[in-house]
Structures are given as structure tokens and as C-alpha cells.
Structure 1
């Protein structure tokens, strides 16, 4: 651990019982060294204590680009994003999975991190759901998306940082960084899904929805008799009027599921749909 990090932790420890308006100050001297203090300095940046005083957790292991193991055998799933799978006992590595894992390992394995939670604390695997920050305050979920190593995958009601993540994805896509420049993740015709069969992992598909159908649980954008996009009724308020997608070229991002000879993509958040102009 660098002297700057040790100093920052010491300052935070001394201020932890101060009011939430307390702050620490960070500045860089003429030699490029970073300093922290609880007293203002000329040219220093003020860091609010209420964003830094949360407990720090030691990262024992980075499993992949979106899953960590903390000291105490605590597993953490990064909120709002998804990275390709790495090689496992029963699965092959997906393209880009190793790059995301290695990027994250280099930054936090063996280091301390801060966690921010949203509406749900655990997933069905009993992993903690969190936004993960370095000691210096870098938002790792966001940076993974910005670098094109992860895609946005928002599960309501966990909407914290949703706008920032979607904007970071737009920048990564425009710059063709990471996954956005890999042939495996290039968009495919959505009507080709029945011919191609089931495709594992996150994919991009393009097509034109021709109808809207509703049921008790879902509203469906229909592309053909065999292919549709399912939007949960519970999240419909996030999308606005679905009629704006009809008869227009649309890109759908997500995971294909199959039921007999029918295929669908479940989209829980508007970031999974993109109108093409």
C-alpha cells in the first residue's frame, strides 16, 4: 500500500465519528505525489466524508470481471453490469471474459475497496450486490463499461447509477472499445435466431417489431411468430410508450431464451433497446 493510501485511511479513521458534512482534502504536489488532509490546502479538492467513511473491504480474489471474493468469504456481484464468462469446469471462456477479469485483478486484487448498495442487498445466489469503489474513489462498475469490458445490465429496482452506466456504454460503443469492436458481439438479424439456434451469452440483434402483445406478466414486442422481446409489466413505466418502436429498426441487447420453437429476449431496462436511425 502506498504512503498516500495509508495517510488517507488514517485521516478517515480520525474523522469517522465527525458529522456527515466533514471532509478530507486531496491535492497533488509539484513532484506528482498525492496528499490527503482534514484541513483545506491551496488548490486542494474537497472529498466529502460521507462518501468515503464507509468500511473498506479487502479483496481476496477476483473471480471474473463482475464477481469478487472479499475477506470473510463474502462474494460480491457488481451491480448494473455484466462481463463475459471466464473458463470454468463445465463451460468454455467467452470472448472478452479473460480481459475483463485481468483488468479488474490488476486494480483491486489484494487491495481494499468500498461498497455502495442499492435496493436489493443479495441475489438468488446470496452474493452481495454492490457498486465497488477503490480507496481513491474510482467507480469500477462504471470504468469496466467505459473501457468496453462490460455491458450494462440493470435489474430493477436496482437503478442507482443507471444513467451514468448507460452514458458510459454509449461512449464505449461510439469509440468501438473492447466488446464493441469484437466480431462475436457484432449485431445479428433478429429474425435469424430460429435458424442459428440458441446462442449462449449476451448478444446484439437488429430487426423491426411489427406488433405489441400484452399478457398479465409481460408486454411483448413481436418480430415474428417465433421471435419476440419480453418487457415485464412491473418495469413498463421505465420505457415510455412502446409504440415508438413499432415499424422502426431496433437493436435489442440481452440473452436469448428458448421455449420449444419460440425464442425471446427478456429486457428489463431501456438500455437493452436502441432505436437505429
Structure 2
């Protein structure tokens, strides 16, 4: 009969249904998706595949024993040394923490809505055999910043809450001067490499069909026409509060700088990347 239950759970529509078990007068066991007299609900525990981690590439990327490269969802850790590029502050600490955490254990994956990224890496949340949520623990330790890419919104509330706590305690990257918020007006032509935090006043809001632009003041290097704006894609506006509320306010935005035709910009994918200054 247990074999029958497994077969039922494999059928479309049964995997997420309530399953009931009961015995008839002859002592035979029956299963159904509909309650009957004296039936009890079967406690279904989904099976998981666990894998050993072969290589820890950096604080948010690992390689499994089956050679899949896994990119941890919802977070970003500083870069480690790569070819001729030096390590970012905190990059080695995040990698070492992850290596120690995954030593002598196996992990299971909760794969994202978009299963892979443009580099072919599998996108996932990692959990150990002890039910430790690795992505979350990196944020709790201040070794990773929250980095949400819709539609990957699983565990967002937990990640943001953990980041707020780590940031308030100034642990990990939040206590490092390299990651202190920088005034928009102090940006130079060289910009800022890697993930960064910028603070400024929203002087104007410009809207197009595809995006909303938060234009900051003061103008940077006015003689060269440099400006800075944060861009929010229109398709994700429902995730944000009314963006018109940012007008005239001093806010902090977090992400990566890009420059196009003399204009600095930063793509904001989720409201967790925007902080209103008190």
C-alpha cells in the first residue's frame, strides 16, 4: 500500500493535495484525496537529494560533486582575487566562512524560478543536512549583502530582516570603510568599482515606457555633463512604494555603477536596494 501512495503522489494534482489514510473492516489500508470516516491525514515529507560541495569558488558560488556550478540566490558577497583583479575587501573572509561551513556536510538545493543565469550557473538557496540556510547565514554574519533579482523573491523578508540587523550592528561589510555610503556629489570620473552605496537627494523623476529614473542632485562634474540616476524597470514597479514619494528626499541606493554617454546610472531591481535617510 505504501507503494500505492508513492504512485499516487507522482500523479499530477496529487503531489500538493491532502492525502488521507484509513483501514476498512478487513484491515486493508486505503488512500484517498478525500476525507472519509476515521481517516487520518498522511504527513508527507518530500524527499531531498543531498550533494557534496567539491569547490568553494567564492562567498556566493560553489561547485558540486556533479560539476554543477551553483550561484547562491538573493545575496552578493565581495569578490575574491580573480586573474589580475585583486580581491574586494571582505571577499576572502566570505569564502573562508563558506568553506568551513560546508566542510564535512552535504547540501540540498532550492532552485530558483529562473533555474540558471546567463553564465549557466544553477541559481539556488543552499541548505545543509542540519537545515541551515546558507544564503541567510551569510547575510546574518555580515559577509553578504542582499541582492534581489525579481522574480526570485523567495526568502526576501528573512534576508532583509537579517541584513538590517547586521547593518545596525556594523558587523562584516557593514563595519568596513570600503562599503560606507558615498555622497553622490563625491563621485569622480572614475566612478566606483564593484558593489557600492550612494546617497543623494532625488531632484527629479523621469518616466519612460520601460523605466522610471530617479535623477539625483547635485550634478556631477557639471562641465562634462555628468549626472547620476537610479533606474527602476517599469515591470517591477508593483514591488515598490509609490516612487513619486522619493522626490525631494535624500535616499541611499545600492548596486553597481554603469556609465553611458557621460551619465552614471544604477539599476535598482528591488526596494531592498533603496534606503530613505532619516
**TM exceeding 0.5:** yes
Q: Partner of 1:192 in structure 2?
A: 186
Q: Partner of 2:100 in structure 1?
A: 106
Distance (whole Å) between structure 1 residues aligned to residue 251 and residue 132 of structure 2: 33
Q: Partner of 1:247 in structure 2?
A: 248
For residue 255 of structure 1, give the secondary structure of its aligned residue in structure 2: strand
Q: CA deviation at 1:243?
A: 1.5
Distance (whole Å) between structure 1 residues aligned to residue 260 and residue 233 of structure 2: 17
**Residue 61 (structure 1) aligned with residue 62 (structure 2):** no
Preserved contact between residue 59 and residue 110 of structure 1 (Cα < 8 Å):
no
Q: Partner of 2:166 in structure 1?
A: 172
Q: Partner of 1:136 in structure 2?
A: 130
How many residue pairs were aligned?
Answer: 235
Q: Partner of 1:158 in structure 2?
A: 152
For residue 94 of structure 2, give the secondary structure of its aligned residue in structure 1: helix
Preserved contact between residue 58 and residue 111 of structure 1 (Cα < 8 Å):
yes
Correspondence 1:80-95 to 2 at 5 A: 80-95=74-89
Q: Partner of 2:30 in structure 1?
A: none
Q: Partner of 1:237 in structure 2?
A: 238
Q: Partner of 1:220 in structure 2?
A: 213
Preserved contact between residue 61 and residue 109 of structure 1 (Cα < 8 Å):
no
Distance (whole Å) between structure 2 residues aligned to residue 79 and residue 255 of structure 1: 17
TM-score by length of 1: 0.80
For residue 154 of structure 2, give the secondary structure of its aligned residue in structure 1: coil
Q: CA deviation at 1:197?
A: 2.1
- Alpha-carbon distance change, 257 to 48 in structure 1, aligned in 2, over 3 angstroms: farther
Q: Partner of 1:183 in structure 2?
A: 177
Please identify runs of 4+ aligned residues in structure 1 that moved more than 4 A.
Answer: 16-22
For residue 264 of structure 2, give the secondary structure of its aligned residue in structure 1: strand
- Alpha-carbon distance change, 148 to 196 in structure 1, aligned in 2, over 3 angstroms: farther
Root mean square deviation, CA, Å: 2.0
Q: Partner of 1:206 in structure 2?
A: 199
TM-score by length of 2: 0.80
What residue ranges of structure 2 are gaps of 5+ in the alignment?
10-14, 20-42, 220-226
Q: Partner of 2:266 in structure 1?
A: 265
> Which is further off, 239-248 or 181-190?
239-248
Preserved contact between residue 62 and residue 109 of structure 1 (Cα < 8 Å):
no
Q: Deviations over 1:25-56 (max 9, x none)?
A: xxxxxxxxxxxxxxxxxxxxxx9833xx2100
